[in-house]
Amino acid sequence: MNYAEQLSMTLPELVLAAGAIVLMLVSAWGKQAATRGVSIAAVFVLASAGVALVGNGTSGGIAFDGMYRADAFAGFAKALIYIASAVAIIIAPRFFARSTGDNLKPEYPVLILLSACGMGMMVSAADLLLLYVGLELQSLSGYVLASFMRRDARSAEAGLKYFVLGALASGILLYGISLLYGFAGTTLFDDIALAYAGPRNMGLLFGLVFVFAGMAFKLAAVPFHMWTPDVYEGAPTPVTAFFASAPKVAAVAMALRVAVEAMGPATDQWRQIVIFAALASIVLGAVAAIGQTNIKRLLAYSSINNVGFALVGLAAGTPEGIAGVLFYLAIYVVMTLGSFLIVLQMRGEDGQPVETLASLSGMSRTRPGLALALAIFMFSLAGIPPLLGFWAKYAVFDAAVRAGLFPLAVIGIAASTIGAYYYLRVVKTMYFDEPAPAFVREQALVEGGLIVATAVLISPVGMFLIPALTAWTMSAAVALF
C-alpha cells in the first residue's frame, strides 16, 4: 500500500486538521469580527469530515504499519463525535452573547475542531503512542475550553482542576504504556495481544492496571471521577454539553479497542477491573446525585452513572456486549445533548443563566413545552419504557446475561432504581411544585428545533430506528473481533 492510500484512510483527521489551521489563521487576522464566519465554517468542516467517513469506515483498512485503523467501529464513533461537536458549536453564540464580560471568541470552534481531530485519532489508534498523542490533543483543547470564560472564577477553577487532574491521569496512562512496551517490546495492539497470549507476566499485568486507570479518568468512571462535577458546573454550558457527549464517546471507544484488540487474551484480568468500575460508577453516580441542587452537577453525576451502565457491556467482552455499548452511546449522546439544550433555556429576567433545581418548580405551567421535553429526557435517562433509554440499558444487561455475568446484571438493574429517584424528582419539581419565576422567553429557533428533534428521537417514535441502529452497532462491534 502506497503512502497516498494510507493518507486517504486518515482523510477525516486531515480535513479537521487542515480546517482548524486555516480557521485559526482567519481568527488571528479577523479577530472578534470573524467569530460568526469561523463558527459556520467549523460546522461545515465537521460535516466534510463526516462525508469523508462514507466508504472509509467499512473497508477495515490498516495504515502506517498497523498504527491506524479505518474500520466500521471507528466510523461509528467518529460519526457520534462529529455530531456532538457540531451541536456544541451551534449552541455557543447565543449563550456567550448573554453572558456578562465574556464574548464568544473565534478560537472556540477552532478548539472544538482540534479536539475532534484528537478524538478521531483516539478511536482509530491501533498503537499506544498514537492513542496517547490523540488523547493529549483532545485533552489540551479541553483544558482551554473549560476555562474559556476568563472573567468567570468558576470557569477558571474548572479549567485548572481539569488540567491538574488530567496531567496526573496522563502520567498514570503513560506509565502503563511504558510498562507494556518494556515487557511486550512493542506498542502495537496486535503484538501486545500476542504477549498477553503467552506465559503469565506480572509486568504486563501491572501495565494493564495502569492503562485502565488512566483511561478510567477520561471515562469519568469511579474512582477517577472526582473532576467531573466541578468541571461540569464551572465550564460554560455549551462546553459542558460537549464534555458530556463527544469526549465521552471517544473515551469509551478508546477503552473498547484497547480492551478487545490489545488485551483480548487477558479478558479475565481486566474484566475484574471493569466490573468494579461499572458497579461503583452506577451506585456512586446515583447516590451522589440525590443531594445535588445544581442541574449541571446533577447531570455530571448522571454521566458517571451512565458510564457505569456502558461498562457493563464492556465487561461481557463479546461482540454483543460491544454492540450494546455502542447502542448505549448513541442514545446517551442524544439524551445528554437534549438535557443540556434545556439547561441553556434556563435564564432569569436579567438574561443570566439559572442552574438551580428549584428554578424548575412549576415549569409545566410556565413553560409546558420545555417541561415536557425535559420530562422525556429524565424518564429516558431513568430507563423508563418505552423511551429509548430503556432499550439502551436492556442492550447492555442482555449482553451481560448472555456472557454469564448474571450477578452483575442483577446488581446493576437493582442499582438503577436509585438513579430513577433523582430523575423522577426533577419531573416532580416541574409538575407538582409551586411555580418559580418563569424563565425569560427568547427567540431561539435553532435550539428549539434541536430540542424537538432530540425529544422525538428519544420518544417511542425513535423505536422505528432501533433495527437500523442495532445492525450498525453490531457491524461496528464485529470489526473489533
Residues 179 and 205: their CA atoms lie apart, in Å, by: 9
Residues 19 and 44: their CA atoms lie apart, in Å, by: 9
* Rounded average pLDDT per 10-residue block, the chain, 481 residues: 79 93 91 88 94 68 85 92 94 79 81 94 92 93 89 86 90 93 91 88 90 91 88 90 93 94 89 92 89 89 92 92 94 93 84 82 87 92 90 93 90 87 89 82 82 92 90 91 82
Q: How many C-beta atoms lie closer than 10 Å to residue 117's C-beta?
A: 27
- CB of 298 closer than 8 Å to CB of 289: yes
Report phi then psi at 358, rounded to 5.
-60, -30
- pLDDT value at residue 4: 78
Provide the greatest CA pair distance for the chain: 68
The CA–CA distances, whole Å, from 260 to 22, 23, 192, 257, 478 equal 37, 37, 11, 5, 11
Q: How many C-beta atoms lie closer than 10 Å to residue 213's C-beta?
A: 19
Residues 436 and 364: their CA atoms lie apart, in Å, by: 11
Please count the CA atoms within 13 angstroms of the CA of 174 that sit on its side-chain side. 11
Q: CB within 8 A of 214, min separation 6: which ones?
A: 169, 170, 172, 173, 174, 176
Residues 388/416/284/318 CA torsion (nearest 10 deg)? -70
Q: Which position has the grid cell 437493582?
A: 414
- pLDDT value at residue 57: 47
- pLDDT value at residue 106: 87
- pLDDT value at residue 55: 65
- pLDDT value at residue 5: 79
What is the tens place of the pLDDT at every residue in 385-404? 889 999 999 999 999 999 88
The CA–CA distances, whole Å, from 20 to 17, 45, 86, 115, 142 equal 5, 8, 14, 10, 15
